[in-house]
Amino acid sequence: MSRVSTRILVLLLTLVSVGILSGGANAEPLYPQPDPDPFYTAPPDLDALQPGDVVRTRKIDTGVYVGTEGWQVAFRSTNSLGNPIMGMTTVLLPGGVKNPPLVSYQALINSLGTRCNPSRSLFNGELQDAVGAMLPIGRGWAISVPDYLGPNVAYAAGRLSGMVTLDSVRAVQRVAELGLAESPVALAGYSGGGLATGWAAALHPTYAPELKIAGVAAGGIPADLEQMALGLGFAPHPGFGLAFAAAMGLEREYPDRLPISEQLNENGLWFREFTHDACRRFLLFHGAFRSADQMAASKNLMNSPEAHQVLWENSLRYFDGVPTAPTYLWHGRYDTLTPYDGVAEFADRYCRAGAPVKLTTYDIAEHMTAAAAGFADAWNFVEARFRGEPVPRGC
């Protein structure tokens, strides 16, 4: 997530709360248009496969990423309801490097359309941090950039993102042509990408314990969605389009538990239709200074136990899983967009459980400034894990 979109997690949860409590039109969730490329079509026997099993692969033209060889891998994964879904990841291999380390890089996805996922947005100009995703290539590492929001582009669904991330690593290591079966693996990401990375690290011991993960680097994590929801208001906001998109993303992942579309008014249903395949820039431009008050009838907040439960289920602060891989966390102490206390709390719990975790705190308030301040040390942490150096600890 970008600086704006991380703030918007607050507003998206206004919509979650409002939507579940107001009484409006009857409407099913609106999913994205499927990608027309048959490579993205799930096979009819997907449920016969295991998480991480490879469905199909193809070599791709890496375009502007000069000096790399590219592949795309379709694989079986799992959604938040435990149902099989097909995942996708894009792998870029550094030219002339044999058996490189592998970084699963969870990029910034702030969108609702399939063309906004990294397998498309790496090449169509929509990916916000395409340049940042290439930094590992410069160190001689391979990168895998998963479409971690799944085929329905379920923006803001953290648990889903973690499972897709882990299954993408499983799949990449199973593709013989890539030569990465024995490569050391790291996970990395910031903000929304940090959310996916943090969830992958926490789920790893139970969901994919066979994976050997050398290190994890996650920064700016939105750790407590409920906490962010409690500070909501109804005033127009410059980033409202991303808030609305995230609410729609959560509804896509939990259609029976968060029937938001049923509760939208006429304006809300129109905006939903207008944006259901949109990427970040479109959402920001057309959502600027709209508000939740314009989309739903009720101003009741956070009175639904079901809404609370979904927020808790996607908040690392309330998840009792503990990473076993060496983990580097960084966060701005005064970050008002993603509050620090939630990250500090789960990091402390990890430390007390004996996990190899280090939290670095920056006395910075601005969200993306903290990203810039911490990424160099994060990559150095990853490189040290690839070299097998002792793991620093400290919370």
**What CATH number did the domain enclosing 272 receive?**
3.40.50.1820
Give the pLDDT confidence of 176-219 residue by residue, as tens digits.
999 999 999 999 999 889 999 999 999 999 999 999 999 999 99
Give the structural domain span for 76.
1-395
**Average pLDDT value for the chain:** 88
The token duo for 375 is 């990424």
The token duo for 272 is 């939903």
Residue 363 CA to residue 377 CA, distance in Å, equals: 16
Which H or E element spans position 94?
strand 84-94
Q: Are the beta carbons of 16 and 307 closer than 8 angstroms?
A: yes
Half-sphere CA count of 123, side-chain side, radius 13 A: 15
Residue 82 CA to residue 34 CA, distance in Å, equals: 21
105 - beta bridge partners? 188
Q: Is the pLDDT of residue 301 over 80?
A: no
Q: Are the beta carbons of 335 and 367 closer than 8 angstroms?
A: yes
| Alpha-helical segments (H) within the chain | 3-21, 118-124, 130-133, 135-138, 158-174, 192-207, 225-230, 240-253, 266-275, 280-287, 305-313, 340-352, 367-386
168: which residues sit within 8 A by CB, 6+ positions away?
A: 73, 75, 77, 87, 89, 104, 144, 146, 148
- Kindly state the average pLDDT of the residues 144-161: 96
Question: What is the structure's pLDDT at 377?
Answer: 94
The amino acid present at 381, given as its one-letter code, is F
Which H or E element spans position 150?
none
Q: How many CB atoms are located within 10 Å of the residue 285 CB?
A: 10
* Total domains in the fold of the chain: 1
Quick one: pLDDT band at residue 230, thresholds 50, 70, 90? low
pTM: 0.91
